[in-house]
Amino acid sequence: MLDFSLLDYAFVGIAGFVVGVINGMVGGASVIVYTVLLAIGLNPVSAVVTNGWGVMPANLMALRAYNGKLGELYRQNWKLVWLSILGTVIGAVALLNMPLETLEKAVPILLLIAGLSVLIPVKTDAAEISEIKEQAVIFGTGIYCGYFGPGQGVMVAATLARDHRRNPAHLNALKNFITGFTSLVSNFIFLASGQIYWGLVLLLAITSGYGGLIGGRRAGQMSPKVYRAALLSVAGFASIWFFIKFY
C-alpha cells in the first residue's frame, strides 16, 4: 500500500468537497477526485474503487433534501432503479476481472468521455424518448457506473429530462436516487478487490458527503458555463496526461 503526505490528503479532501457540491447539484464531477487519486499514485483500479466508496455519500446525503418523497420516487421508477443496478453489477464484475493493463489503456478515453458528458444537454423540452429507450440508456449508464463512474450523473439526468412529466426538482431527485443506489451496489462488489484505500475513503466520505448535502439543497444554482468549463478542463488535461503516460 502507498504512503501519502499531508499535502496529498489536503488535495483529496478539497477535491472531495468540490465534487460533493457539484454532484449534489448536477452530477458528473467525480472525475475530479478520480484524477487526483491517480495523480497521488493509485493505479486505475484502486482509483475507481476508492473513488466509488469515497464520493458515494455525496449522492446519498443529497437525498436528505427529499425526505418523505423517496418511497414515492421508488414506486414510480422502480424499473429504472433495478435496470441501473443490474448494469452496475455487470460493469463492476468486468472491472475486477479485467487485466490492469487494459484499464490503463482505457483510462484516457474514459476520462474524455466523462469530460464530454457535461456537454450533454439536460433539457426538459428535448424530444420525447420512449420508455424502452429510456430503460436501455439507464441500463447502459449502470454498466458505465460499475466499470468507471465519473459522468454517470449527467448521463442519467440528460436521459430522465426527456420525459416531460418531470420538473427540474423531480428530475434532480430521481437522478440522485438512481446514481446513489447504483453506486451503493457497485461499491459492495468493489470490496472483493482488496484495493480500497480506506483512509482516503473516510476523508472523501466526510468532505463529499458534506458537499453533497449543500449541493442537494442548492440544485440548479450553479452556472452551467462555470461547471462545464471546470470539468472539461480537468478531464481534458487529465486525458492528455494519461494518454502520454499509458501509451
Q: Where are the domains of the chain?
A: 6-246
CA distance 211 to 59: 10
Looking at residue 167, what DSSP letter applies? -
For 54, the enclosing helix (H) or strand (E) is helix 44-62
Are 225 and 72 in contact by the 8 Å Cβ rule? The answer is: no
CA distance 165 to 171: 9
119: burial class by Cβ within 10 Å (0-12, 13-18, 19+)? Answer: exposed
CA distance 209 to 234: 21
What are the grid coordinates assigned to 179, written together? 446514481
Model pLDDT for residues 77-130, shown as the tens digit of each residue: 899 999 999 999 999 999 999 898 888 889 889 888 888 877 776 666 667 788
3-class SS of residue 221: coil
Model pLDDT for residues 132-188, shown as the tens digit of each residue: 999 999 999 999 999 998 878 778 888 888 877 777 777 878 888 898 889 889 999
